[in-house]
């Protein structure tokens, strides 16, 4: 299965959000990664449901909504209604009971459930044995801002996740943070099936070329 590139639209020109989402589809992106931060769980404020709705109208690509918010259950349904395809919530923000309720609500909308882990959070912090998880997101920077340096010391967690979820067709393993043209191939070779790319696409003089270079690197 080909490795997917999911550009983070939080790194794009916020004044041209719909146009940037449309461009990503034209340029060959596989998903659009939507970083949703509440200013509490992550020290930044980004998108609300209305922005996700606008992105949904502008692009047919799958929307991976990364809910970096302290109470994901509170706002989950609004982002599902806005058109999110994957609801990725953080392991640090849920209990066994709330995760079960979140999973049920995601299923009601025929969406997919993702679980994200901060760099310091161990995979075993959440028991996923009984959960239908389509995406594991391993953060290789601390949540908050685009352009941070990749943390290679987190990579063993990627290998651990791939052993726990060996089938790429059932569970994607996503790396989020500091992915660029210098490390994308190494990350893909270690078992990642989705790479989030923010500054390494939108921070370049030619975002289209940068995206295509990433896709070529992980395909080789």
Q: Which of 30, 35, 85, 180 is catalytic?
A: 35
**6-38 pLDDT per residue, tens:** 999 999 999 999 999 999 999 999 999 999 999
C-alpha distances in Å from residue 67, one per residue of 12, 38, 72, 212, 215:
18, 9, 6, 27, 25
Rounded to whole angstroms, how far apart are CA atoms 167 and 158? 14
Name beta bridge partners: 37: 68
- Which of the four pLDDT bands, split at 50, 70 and 90, describes residue 169? low
Whether residue 30 lies in the annotated active site: no
Q: Which of 38, 85, 176, 180 is catalytic?
A: 176
Of 1.10.1060.10, 1.10.3720.10, 3.20.20.70, 3.90.550.10, the CATH number of 4-219 is 3.20.20.70
Q: Give the pLDDT score at 168.
A: 62
Whether residue 176 lies in the annotated active site: yes
Can you give the residue ranges of every domain in the chain? Answer: 4-219
**Percent of the chain's residues with pLDDT above 90:** 83
**48-79 pLDDT per residue, tens:** 999 999 999 999 999 999 999 999 999 999 99
- Record the pTM: 0.94
């Amino acid at each position: 299965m080909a490795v997917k590139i999911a550009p983070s639209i939080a790194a794009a020109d916020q004044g041209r959000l719909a146009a940037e989402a449309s461009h990503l589809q034209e340029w060959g992106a596989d998903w659009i990664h939507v970083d949703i931060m509440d200013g509490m769980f992550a020290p930044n404020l980004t998108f609300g449901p209305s922005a996700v709705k606008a992105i949904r109208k502008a692009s047919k690509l799958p929307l991976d909504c990364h809910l970096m918010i302290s109470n994901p259950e509170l706002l989950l349904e609004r982002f599902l209604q806005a058109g999110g395809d994957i609801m990725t919530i953080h392991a640090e923000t849920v209990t066994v009971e709330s995760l079960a309720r979140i999973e049920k609500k995601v299923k009601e909308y025929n969406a997919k459930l993702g679980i994200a882990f901060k760099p310091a959070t161990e995979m075993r912090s959440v028991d996923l044995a009984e959960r239908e998880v389509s995406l594991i997101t391993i953060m290789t920077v601390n949540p908050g801002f685009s352009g941070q340096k990749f943390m290679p010391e987190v990579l063993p967690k990627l290998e651990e996740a791939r052993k726990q979820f060996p089938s790429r067709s059932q569970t994607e393993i996503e790396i989020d943070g500091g992915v660029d043209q210098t490390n994308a191939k190494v990350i893909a070779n270690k078992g990642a099936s989705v790479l989030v790319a923010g500054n390494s696409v939108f921070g370049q003089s030619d975002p289209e070329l940068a995206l295509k270079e990433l896709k070529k690197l992980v395909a080789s």
